[in-house]
Amino acid sequence: MNVGDMAKKAKDFAGEHKDQVDKGVDKAGDFAKDKFGASGDQVDKGVDKAKDLLGGDRQQDDRQQDADQQR
């Protein structure tokens, strides 16, 4: 199995278990903010980007739908 296969498998798993992945990414973000307090905004951006790459955050999708409906 090469790196591309492993990445696809990880992304497929993430898509099937979005809630668990979102919780894990949030926990990692909270840990990073505790560790590097002054960089909280950068950590939040990284958390959002990670969720986007791993199949998206439903809350972010909901916010986008709300914004689209307001237009």
The rounded distance, in Å, linking the Cα atoms of 48 and 61 is 11
pLDDT computed for residue 43 by the predictor: 92
Helix (H, G, I), strand (E, B) or coil at 17: coil
Question: Is 47 a domain residue?
Answer: yes
pLDDT computed for residue 31 by the predictor: 94
State the residue range of the domain holding 23: 19-30+42-71
Choose between 30 and 70: higher pLDDT: 30
The rounded distance, in Å, linking the Cα atoms of 47 and 29 is 6
How many domains is the chain built from?
1
pLDDT computed for residue 11 by the predictor: 79
pLDDT computed for residue 56 by the predictor: 55
In this prediction, residues 1-30 reach a mean pLDDT of: 87
Element (H, E) at 41: helix 40-53
The rounded distance, in Å, linking the Cα atoms of 1 and 68 is 41
User: Has residue 35 got a pLDDT over 70?
Assistant: yes
Question: Is 13 a domain residue?
Answer: no
pLDDT computed for residue 16 by the predictor: 86
